[in-house]
Structure 1
Amino acid sequence: MARKRTQADIISQLSNRELLWNVYLSQTLFLIISFIIGFFLFDSWSTFWSLWTFDHHELIYYGLIPGVIIVIVDIIMIRYLPARLYDDGGINRRLFTSISIPHIIVLTAFVALSEEILFRGVIQTHFGFWIASILFAIVHIRYLTKWVLLISVLLLSFVIGYIYHITDNLWTTVAAHFVIDLLLGLYYWKKMR
């Protein structure tokens, strides 16, 4: 009987370039899904745009500071937990070590923007905090079989969802998500080179 191929098996067969393009493709699909669902759920585009408020205090207190704290906790866990508990199949390592720092900035900004539009802007706005947070964790499928990563992504999703709940501002969640992904991406880039 043939062995069932795992996600790690499939990913290992992709080149770094193919892996990167798959990330861009999935994030583009999130944006397309967001706009299709949003078209039916929002009364008007102005309602959607009202979710975006540029408030530098909120960006610092609810985006930057929580993002940095989350990254510090993540790096402590990466350093002190056994690698097998925190291993995502090497995807983050491969992804972030195969591109330049400016590309890491672009990639993490695109990921933060596309995921926050879908999960907070569309799903949480219309279906609530719990549904958005759980769907966010499920979409990060490679974390579902590692209990430490699953708990980490669930907590991250709840924190970002709560930030959106208290600010009603997508810029704050995009900022927090971006800071987390960017700093962890830079950590992998520096550590693995």
Structure 2
Amino acid sequence: MNKQKEIIKQISDRELMANFYLSQGILLILSLSLTPFFFSSFWEVFSLFHFERVKQVLIIGGGAGLLVVLLDLVLIKLLPASFFDDGGINERLFTNRGFWKIVWISLLVAFCEELLFRGVIQTNFGIVIASLIFAMIHVRYLNNKFLFVYVVLLSFLIGYIYKITANLAATFMMHFVIDCFLGLYIYIKNGRTNTDIQK
């Protein structure tokens, strides 16, 4: 973990964002590459997004996301800081972004990860496989037992939301709400003010 922190400190902001976009691009390409093997048509996986089911998207997806955010904030206050130490990646990723960039990062992550893990993997291999793979690709959590267990449980929860709704738009919304609100929390906690909101 200390080695990871040193690496994160040494890389430039440009390198950090390049790695971020590369990782999300890999997930997206993987999703699109696997789609023809598991669906009858290339576009079928996108039909799993049902944004027209507003109640599912906003109440179930958004509501579950907000509950996770509230739980996170309570745990952050109650538990030692070391429990949430991911090696400094989230701090670097969100601290200097500004409001709209945090929204964009959260949208991109939610779309790419939900498309692959719930859309392609869970639809074809089930919630257990999808949840475990989802947890494993978050390699920065592997050195922190609490964070790893937490992300496994969170993945199962997102997978359950997909199971009961059969709607990727609901899990996309849940994932987006979690990442966006916690990203904004990091941004504000580290001394950013409302005057930066347009950045």
* TM superposition score normalised by structure 2: 0.91
The unaligned stretches of length 5 or more in structure 1 are: none
**CA-based RMSD:** 1.5
The unaligned stretches of length 5 or more in structure 2 are: 192-199
CA distance in 1, matches of 2:184, 2:110: 15
Alignment counterpart, residue 52 of structure 1, candidates 49, 53, 57: 49
Alignment counterpart, residue 150 of structure 2, candidates 149, 152, 161: 152
* AA partner of residue 97 (structure 1): T
CA distance in 1, matches of 2:149, 2:134: 12
Look up the match of 1:106: 104
Aligned-residue offset at 1:49? 2.9
* AA partner of residue 123 (structure 1): I
Moved more, 17-26 or 42-51: 42-51
Contact kept in structure 2, 1:16 and 1:98, CA below 8 Å? no
Aligned-residue offset at 1:8? 3.2
Aligned-residue offset at 1:7? 3.3
Look up the match of 2:18: 21
1:36 matched to 2:33:
yes
Matched residue count: 190
Moved more, 50-59 or 115-124: 50-59
Deviations 1:103-131 (A, max 9, x none): 10011100000000010000101111000
Aligned-residue offset at 1:46? 4.5
Deviations 1:51-88 (A, max 9, x none): 11121100122211100000011111112211112111
CA distance in 1, matches of 2:3, 2:32: 31
The percent identity for this pair of structures is 48
**Aligned positions of 1:65-80 closer than 5 A:** 65-80=63-78
Aligned-residue offset at 1:9? 3.5
C-alpha change, 1:58 and 1:153, in structure 2 (3 Å) is same
* AA partner of residue 181 (structure 1): D
CA distance in 2, matches of 1:46, 1:188: 36
**Aligned positions of 1:90-129 closer than 5 A:** 90-129=88-127
Contact kept in structure 1, 2:119 and 2:168, CA below 8 Å? yes
Runs of 4+ off more than 6 Å: none
Aligned-residue offset at 1:11? 2.5
Alignment counterpart, residue 7 of structure 1, candidates 4, 8, 11: 4
Give the 3-state SS of the residue equivalent to 1:50 in structure 2. helix
Alignment counterpart, residue 133 of structure 2, candidates 135, 146, 151: 135
CA distance in 1, matches of 2:24, 2:179: 14
Look up the match of 1:192: 190
